[in-house]
Amino acid sequence: IFFVAFFLDFFEIAFIIVPMIAPTALKLLTPVVGADAALIWFGIMLCVNMQTSFLHPPFGFALFYLRGVAPKEVKSSDIYWGAVPWIGLQAIMVAVVIAFPITVTGLLDAPTKVDLDKIKIEIPEIELPPPVLDFGQPKN
């Protein structure tokens, strides 16, 4: 996904590539992290990788946004070189999530401390005055 993000945008990856590889990921990751956590871990890996796609050309939208607000004195090459350390941090994060899947799946088995049956959401009704439609005087 990291290398695919050099050529495809987030939306193309999310809507085209992910549905094609998710079943394979489920089969391959179930022995590693368990059936319940396989797709969760896979989703987090996708998110961490696709965060990186916002930082590198040609679809580095964060770079384009920064280019749009930066003064004219700042060159695009300066913005691209400034993103390199952040891409390195993202690569380290990908390595950490791969090496230690527990960082993603560690709290999945934690007991819930909130009784979901006792949660009640009350939305008060507010009576609004009827809208006044004034289209002005008719033109002759």
Tell me, yes or no, if the pTM score tops 0.85: no
Question: Which residues have a Cβ under 8 Å from the Cβ of 46 and sit 6 or more positions away?
Answer: 1, 13, 14, 18
The pLDDT tens digits of the residues spanning 94-112 come to 899 888 888 888 877 777 7
For the record, the structure tokens of 77 come out as: 């090459």
> Taking every pair of C-alpha atoms in the chain, what is the biggest distance, in angstroms?
79
For residue 27, the model assigns a pLDDT of: 92
* HEC secondary structure over the chain: CCCHHHCCCHHHHHHHHHHHHHHHHHHHHHHHHCHHHHHHHHHHHHHHHHHHHCCCCCCCHHHHHHHHHCCCCCCHHHHHHHHHHHHHHHHHHHHHHHHCCHHHHCCCCCCCCCCHHHCCCCCCCCCCCCCCCCCCCCCC
Mean per-residue pLDDT, 48-61:
77
- CA 48, CA 50: separation in Å to the nearest integer? 6
